[in-house]
Amino acid sequence: MSYTLFLEHLRKNVRLAPEEETQLLSKLQERHIAKKEFLYKEGDIHTGQAFVLSGCLRSYSVDASGIEHILQFAPPGWWIADINSLKNQIPSSLQIDAIENSSLLFLSRTHMEALYASIPMLERFFRLLLENSLITYQKRLLDNLSLSARERYENFCKLYPGLIMELPQKQVAAYIGVTPEFLSKMLNQPRNK
């Protein structure tokens, strides 16, 4: 399959020597994962992170009452993993599965560490990605503290404009933090304010 999406993503953030790019690409392992299949389950210790080429993955946790809460959607061009499990090698509290048939590039933790040593510029690359993620999560947290369900829904539409079309409503509900029933009610009574 084509690595162009990955290369674009890489070059948007950082400039590597051609042989470094080649070295990096050689460590990426292509994988396919069918709709509803798991990449990792709760309790697994993550062995690497995934860059999505096509399809869509999600990471979520299941609370004490069995309700799913979605932490992240990963459409093409996004990374997904439980960094806490990956970094500290502890059992994950998240599940990661595919919501469509998907293909991805998998980068293992061991390759990752070797690459950090041989291509220092990768430290910067991932630092930049982490900065962006952090900004996103901080904004989302403040939104959850200060906005109504309807406003959070509207923000979601802006953040994932393509996704809103093809995503079952209940997934959106599990992301913005309401029940599917409430979301349905909300969307069908369009009176504002």
Partner DNA sequence: TACATCACTTAATCTAGGTTATTTGTAAGC
Partner DNA sequence: GCTTACAAATAACCTAGATTAAGTGATGTA
Q: How far apart are CA 119 and CA 3, in angstroms?
A: 19
Q: How far apart are CA 71 and CA 60, in angstroms?
A: 5
Q: Is 178 in the site for DNA (CB under 7 A)?
A: yes
CA 186 to mean position of chain CA atoms? 27
The distance of closest approach from Cβ of residue 76 to DNA in the complex, given in angstroms and rounded to an integer, is 21
Q: Is 138 in the site for a copy of itself (CB under 8 A)?
A: yes
Q: Is 170 in the site for DNA (CB under 7 A)?
A: yes
Of 53 and 70, which CB lies nearer to a copy of itself in the complex structure? 70
Residue selected from 136, 177, 190, 192 as contacting DNA according to rule CB under 7 A: 177
* Span from 31-39, 44-52, 59-67, 157-165 in contact with a copy of itself (CB under 8 A): 59-67
Residue selected from 4, 26, 65, 146 as contacting DNA according to rule CB under 7 A: 65
**Residue closest to 130 by CA, chosen among 187, 185, 72, 79:** 79
| # residues contacting DNA (CB under 7 A) | 20
The distance of closest approach from Cβ of residue 187 to a copy of itself in the complex, given in angstroms and rounded to an integer, is 20
Bridging pattern class, strands 38-40 and 95-98? antiparallel
Tokens of 141: 């947290």
Residue selected from 131, 134, 148, 157 as contacting DNA according to rule CB under 7 A: 148
Q: How far apart are CA 49 and CA 176, in angstroms?
A: 24
Q: Is 35 in the site for DNA (CB under 7 A)?
A: no
Q: How far apart are CA 111 and CA 103, in angstroms?
A: 20
4-13 vs 121-146: helix crossing angle, rounded to 10: 90
Residue selected from 1, 62, 67, 135 as contacting DNA according to rule CB under 7 A: 67
The distance of closest approach from Cβ of residue 20 to a copy of itself in the complex, given in angstroms and rounded to an integer, is 14
Q: How far apart are CA 7 and CA 2, in angstroms?
A: 10
Of 54 and 133, which CB lies nearer to a copy of itself in the complex structure? 133
Whether the CB-CB separation of 67 and 180 falls below 8 Å is answered with no
Residue selected from 16, 149, 159, 163 as contacting DNA according to rule CB under 7 A: 149
Q: Is 185 in the site for DNA (CB under 7 A)?
A: yes
**Residue closest to 42 by CA, chosen among 77, 69, 73:** 69
Q: Where on the chain is the footprint of DNA (CB under 7 A)?
A: 65, 67, 148-150, 168-170, 177-188
